[in-house]
Structure 1
Amino acid sequence: MVRSKQQTTPKPRKALDLWTAPEPRRRRRASALSVVASLIWPLQAAIVASALGGLLTGADVSAWKTGASFIALGALRALLSLLSEQQSDAAAEAVLREARARIVEAEAHRATESPFGGAGSISALASEKLDLLAPYVTRYAPAQARVMVLPIVIFALALWHSWAVAIVLLITGPLIPVFMALVGFAAKEASERQMSEIGTLNDALVDRLSALVDIRLLGARDTVMSEFATQAGDLRQRTMAVLRVAFLSSTVLELFAAIGVAMVAVYVGFSLLGVLEFGTWGTALTPQAGIFLLLLAPEYYQPLRDLSGAWHDKASADAVAKELTEWEAGDTPTLLGAGGPAVAMTGPVDIRLKGCSLANGRALPDMTITQGETIALVGPSGAGKTTTLRLIAGLLMPPTGEVTVAGAPLSSDTADAWRARIGWMPQAPHFLNASLRQNLTLGREGDLDTALEQAAVSQVVAALPQGLNTRLGETGGGLSGGEARRLTLARAIYGAPDVILADEPTADLDAATAQIVTDGLLAQAERGATLIVATHDSQLAARMDRIITIGEAL
């Protein structure tokens, strides 16, 4: 009879274990070196106890041999501790590097906003919060390894010399982890609340900075400052709550450690004075054994003290790992292609959308756009005009249907080559933290002067403090809305792209500026470019070759 092997489901790993998984060999090596270094102290304690006990009993003690042995062991212990720290530091660096790379890569390829939060929350997670994983790797993990070995070894040595001392250690030692666990629940909850508040405050700061001009125009400075003061006060209170828990755990630990060491000292002292005659294995406690036990007692509690000191590090790391898991669980569409430079697609610009739909299930109209056409996408807000542009640009993949460009299906294999033929003009002007020249060219070849002239923005650039070398900031500080919109037009038409996609190019502009932007777009159509605009502007739509209605007709 053949028995089938029982299938066992592997135990799911905790979030913290998953995010600190890189460099397992370095971490194990660091813990092992830390344990070996800590085990050297009992040898040093034995040397000191033998020397002092010999002096008390009149035995011949070689000071030179004792000192040399103690110093040699101390140097070895210091070397092993240094190697352990180097290994743990390298492991922590690898953990942070891999986690940060995962965040940056995922956000760079994310086609829509993350459900985890805004840019403030994600940047805080990838920077200051992520750094809290390092103390867990460098402090908590080695301390945990020492706790699992050193107290057992010292307890066995104490039991060999005195069962009474062993009982003291056995009673006081386990109480420390029990109280640490009780305090740990409060520490974990407080740390999670603090992590969440940091992300919320960062999101609020990013939002307010992006709306700084509007805040000034509306005279809402005092209101905004009051809101920030309230949120900062809440964060300060949560931080103090975490610190209170940390101090509480340390106080409890020090109390029990001090009581345990004091009880051992009292027993050893009275035993050596002859007052107590019990607690050993049939013979009186010798001075050497008494001194040895006194030197071992503090080291019995030291790993527990180290673990308690790093307990807050674990609580913070747990909170960060939970947020990292929540961030990773936020599934959003992925940007097609690698998102980098590519050789442009060849062939006529023919765009076709067939059977495509939005994420909410609403169907988009089938459309075929040939090279050189000018198309206006119109419809109510939220109908899917911007989404249609993103589908054409390969920034999104439709839940259903197919997008065909230049005779090939738009996919991850063709998206980069297709986007090399596109000029993109977003609805909200946005700039990189670089010079204006870099923002306009984006590393591409083309005639920048012509692009600035066609966008009627040459004089605006000339009036900037450093011209094309001016850094505007991400929101285009120092520019009006119309000027920023014209600069995005110059960026879109730079390099003479075959297709120009413009999202609400004339929104919120005065009539004169809207006319300039419209003329600049139509100038591209005259040279043969395919122009597709999503707009509510009836005058702009009327100047296009065709109008395609998205959603219900206006």
Structure 2
Amino acid sequence: MSHDTEGAARNDRQRAKDRIITPVKRPLTVAGWLSVLAGALWPIQAAAIAWAVSEWVDGASAVQVALTAASVFLACALLRALLEHRSGALLFAAANATIRRERAHLIDREARTRTSAGSAQIAALLVQKLPLMQPWITRYHVAMMRVSTLPFLYLLLAFSQSWAVGVTLLVAGPLIPVFMALVGMAAEEASKKQMQDIASMNDMVMDRLSAMLDIRLLGATDRAAQDFATRADSLRARTMEVLKVAFLSSTVLELFAALGVAMVAVFVGFTLLGEIGFGAWGDGLTLGEGLFLLLIAPEFFQPLRDLSAAWHDRAAGYAVVADLDALDAAERVAMLGQAAPSEPLSGPLALCTEGAVVALSGKDVRIPDFTLSEGQSLALVGPSGVGKSTALAAIAGLAPLRAGTILVNGQPLTEETADAWRAGLSVVPQKPHFADETLAEWLDPKAIGTDPSAALAMAGASDIVRRLPEGLHSRLGETGGGVSGGEARRLLLARALLSGASLLLADEPTADLDEATADTIITALLAFRAAGGTLLIATHDPRLIAAMDTHVEVMA
């Protein structure tokens, strides 16, 4: 790894700590010291056990010794449990607060400023990836505090009884973090690749589900299944790579820990048998001292074990933060206004564009100059990709202008007027989207209890609702599962008609529809205009263009 790459990785890790750990550092520090204090009680318990066995061997009263040792042991155990419980409560509260903060920030921002990231990618980050930070927060920081204090305490106690045992632990202990750091580099890279495959898998599933009817009509179900199997196999391979690294790290740790404990056990056993006459202070090890050393030796390695497990949690956490940082840096399209409920903009409906230019993804989209008055209909025409959808988004206040103005009811479309302007219009997007609610609730977003029958009939959607198993109580799913694209388009139109909006913005309402369905959509739009509504349509359908009062061309 080059110095520049290593420096960039170090800076990324520091930013991740500043973002995730620093805001909750105080409760993490308190929890860490509580856990350290709990770990420091084990030598007292070990000393009580060693003393009791030594006294029994020397012929002391078994009952009295057992009661004393048990009292000390149980008191320390109870105190350790209380300390660990309190430490755990602080850690999980900090983790939950962090995840809740990041999730709320993500949802609020993505709802107001769009990026090229798909909804599946955002959902994967919210639901699958953010919870992966919990083990990092709850385990790694505390593990680092324990490993920086407890092994030194156990080492000092070991040296106080036997310099040979102390040297054994001193040699075996540092080898574990060295190998763990080497393995940890591979763990971090494997975790990043796994996060990428999770996002890619979710995007593919959402794409295939939204196009399921088309896939079946084209006879491409086997191909779609094969694509899914290939992507799933790739994710399986990435997951196994992470597990391989984890098992390798665990094997290295357990090997050195087992060797260290075994060497201590061999030394103590042969010393007590009189076969080894060095390594202890004074007259040699007593039975009590030997047992004490045997009891604290495994605990010397336990903080290192905890850190090894938390090291992989840290790698996964850094991978999640890298995804968050990438989404933070993505180019965004900010909507105007606060997206708050508002009364419709006052005055007669009038829309006028003057030299309006939208800057989107590094590309300027010029909106043609036009004027649209109440009761009129106008079509924005031009080939696919020229910017018709972007123009509609700008007119709805969903994309900011780089130059020019859009006048709505005689006022500039700005942060102050956008919410009121949107309150009087309805949008029929090219891609349907249904909220997780019943069809009746979705058709009536303002919950005013209006009967949807007339709007459904005008949109030619009455039969669609009747065919659904639960009628208006059906839930269609995000992309309209259970209805075709044309049927979803008609339901969207019925919702727009039912909203009572005075201006209807429709993006390619007849695209990819058969002639009969397209005629139904056109008839519904004309009925809306005949009832006094105003239409602004983006289309390249000649029949729909001919049905409008006028049209203007969007130029590249």
- Higher mean C-alpha displacement, 71-80 vs 95-104: 95-104
One of 416, 420, 424 as aligned partner of 1:417: 420
Q: After superposition, give the CA deviation of every residue in 1:187-225 in whole Å (9 maximum; x if it has no partner).
A: 112221122112111111111111111111111121221
Q: State the partner residue of 2:5.
A: none
**Cα contact 1:180–1:249 (8 A) shared by 2:** yes
- Structure 1 segments unaligned to the other structure (5+ residues): 1-10
One of 82, 101, 104 as aligned partner of 2:104: 101
One of 495, 498, 502 as aligned partner of 1:494: 498
Q: Superposition pairs for residues 382-393 of structure 1, below 5 Å?
A: 382-393=385-396
Q: State the partner residue of 1:443.
A: 446
The count of residues paired between Structure 1 and Structure 2 equals 540
User: Cα distance 1:24–1:262, how it changes in 2: closer, same or farther (>3 A)?
Assistant: same
Q: After superposition, give the CA deviation of every residue in 1:406-463 in whole Å (9 maximum; x if it has no partner).
A: 2333233322221110011112333223222122112254552332232232333334
Instruction: Provide the C-alpha distance between the structure 2 equivalents of 1:56 and 1:401, rounded to a whole number of angstroms.
Output: 96
Quick one: which amino acid aligns to residue 35 of structure 2?
A: S
Q: State the partner residue of 1:285.
A: 285
Quick one: which amino acid aligns to residue 214 of structure 1?
A: D
Q: State the partner residue of 1:3.
A: none
Q: State the partner residue of 2:7.
A: none
Instruction: Provide the C-alpha distance between the structure 1 equivalents of 2:331 and 2:484, rounded to a whole number of angstroms.
Output: 36
Q: Superposition pairs for residues 317-328 of structure 1, below 5 Å?
A: 317-328=317-328
- Higher mean C-alpha displacement, 338-347 vs 68-77: 338-347
- Higher mean C-alpha displacement, 147-156 vs 128-137: 128-137
User: Cα distance 1:473–1:67, how it changes in 2: closer, same or farther (>3 A)?
Assistant: closer
Q: State the partner residue of 1:457.
A: 461
Quick one: which amino acid aligns to residue 87 of structure 2?
A: S
**Cα contact 2:114–2:334 (8 A) shared by 1:** yes
User: Cα distance 1:339–1:362, how it changes in 2: closer, same or farther (>3 A)?
Assistant: closer
Q: Superposition pairs for residues 151-550 of structure 1, below 5 Å?
A: 151-358=151-358, 359=360, 360-445=363-448, 446=450, 448-550=452-554
Instruction: Provide the C-alpha distance between the structure 1 equivalents of 2:161 and 2:482, rounded to a whole number of angstroms.
Output: 80
Instruction: Provide the C-alpha distance between the structure 2 equivalents of 1:271 and 1:515, rounded to a whole number of angstroms.
Output: 97
Quick one: which amino acid aligns to residue 68 of structure 2?
A: K
Q: After superposition, give the CA deviation of every residue in 1:320-377 in whole Å (9 maximum; x if it has no partner).
A: 2222221222131123233343222211222232332232124333333333332111
In structure 2, the residue corresponding to 1:310 is in which secondary structure? helix
Instruction: Provide the C-alpha distance between the structure 2 equivalents of 1:483 and 1:232, rounded to a whole number of angstroms.
Output: 32
- Higher mean C-alpha displacement, 300-309 vs 437-446: 437-446
Instruction: Provide the C-alpha distance between the structure 2 equivalents of 1:107 and 1:67, rounded to a whole number of angstroms.
Output: 59
Quick one: which amino acid aligns to residue 206 of structure 2?
A: V
Q: State the partner residue of 2:31.
A: 30
Identity %: 49
Quick one: which amino acid aligns to residue 495 of structure 2?
A: R
Quick one: which amino acid aligns to residue 484 of structure 1?
A: A
Quick one: which amino acid aligns to residue 488 of structure 1?
A: L
Q: After superposition, give the CA deviation of every residue in 1:466-495 in whole Å (9 maximum; x if it has no partner).
A: 322222333333434333222211111113
In structure 2, the residue corresponding to 1:402 is in which secondary structure? strand
Instruction: Provide the C-alpha distance between the structure 2 equivalents of 1:204 and 1:517, rounded to a whole number of angstroms.
Output: 30
In structure 2, the residue corresponding to 1:395 is in which secondary structure? coil
| Deviation at residue 284 of structure 1 after TM alignment | 2.7
Quick one: which amino acid aligns to residue 154 of structure 1?
A: Y
- Higher mean C-alpha displacement, 200-209 vs 521-530: 521-530
**Cα contact 2:427–2:504 (8 A) shared by 1:** yes
Instruction: Provide the C-alpha distance between the structure 1 equivalents of 2:114 and 2:128, rounded to a whole number of angstroms.
Output: 25
Quick one: which amino acid aligns to residue 233 of structure 2?
A: G
Instruction: Provide the C-alpha distance between the structure 2 equivalents of 1:102 and 1:318, rounded to a whole number of angstroms.
Output: 18
**Cα contact 1:444–1:495 (8 A) shared by 2:** no
Instruction: Provide the C-alpha distance between the structure 2 equivalents of 1:459 and 1:205, rounded to a whole number of angstroms.
Output: 30
User: Cα distance 1:482–1:208, how it changes in 2: closer, same or farther (>3 A)?
Assistant: closer
Q: After superposition, give the CA deviation of every residue in 1:234-258 in whole Å (9 maximum; x if it has no partner).
A: 2222212211111111111111111
Quick one: which amino acid aligns to residue 452 of structure 1?
A: L
Give the superposed CA RMSD.
2.3
**Cα contact 2:441–2:447 (8 A) shared by 1:** no
**Cα contact 2:444–2:495 (8 A) shared by 1:** yes
In structure 2, the residue corresponding to 1:353 is in which secondary structure? strand
User: Cα distance 1:463–1:297, how it changes in 2: closer, same or farther (>3 A)?
Assistant: closer
**Cα contact 1:121–1:202 (8 A) shared by 2:** yes
Q: TM-score, normalised by structure 2?
A: 0.91
Q: State the partner residue of 2:46.
A: 45
Instruction: Provide the C-alpha distance between the structure 2 equivalents of 1:85 and 1:141, rounded to a whole number of angstroms.
Output: 12
Quick one: which amino acid aligns to residue 69 of structure 2?
A: T
User: Cα distance 1:68–1:112, how it changes in 2: closer, same or farther (>3 A)?
Assistant: closer
In structure 2, the residue corresponding to 1:184 is in which secondary structure? helix
User: Cα distance 1:222–1:16, how it changes in 2: closer, same or farther (>3 A)?
Assistant: farther
Instruction: Provide the C-alpha distance between the structure 1 equivalents of 2:36 and 2:331, rounded to a whole number of angstroms.
Output: 42
User: Cα distance 1:59–1:112, how it changes in 2: closer, same or farther (>3 A)?
Assistant: closer
Q: TM-score, normalised by structure 1?
A: 0.92
**Cα contact 1:16–1:321 (8 A) shared by 2:** no
Q: Superposition pairs for residues 119-130 of structure 1, below 5 Å?
A: 119-130=119-130
**Cα contact 1:422–1:497 (8 A) shared by 2:** yes
In structure 1, the residue corresponding to 2:229 is in which secondary structure? helix
Instruction: Provide the C-alpha distance between the structure 2 equivalents of 1:436 and 1:249, rounded to a whole number of angstroms.
Output: 52
| Deviation at residue 20 of structure 1 after TM alignment | 4.2
User: Cα distance 1:126–1:21, how it changes in 2: closer, same or farther (>3 A)?
Assistant: farther
Q: State the partner residue of 1:7.
A: none
| Deviation at residue 133 of structure 1 after TM alignment | 0.9
Quick one: which amino acid aligns to residue 55 of structure 1?
A: W
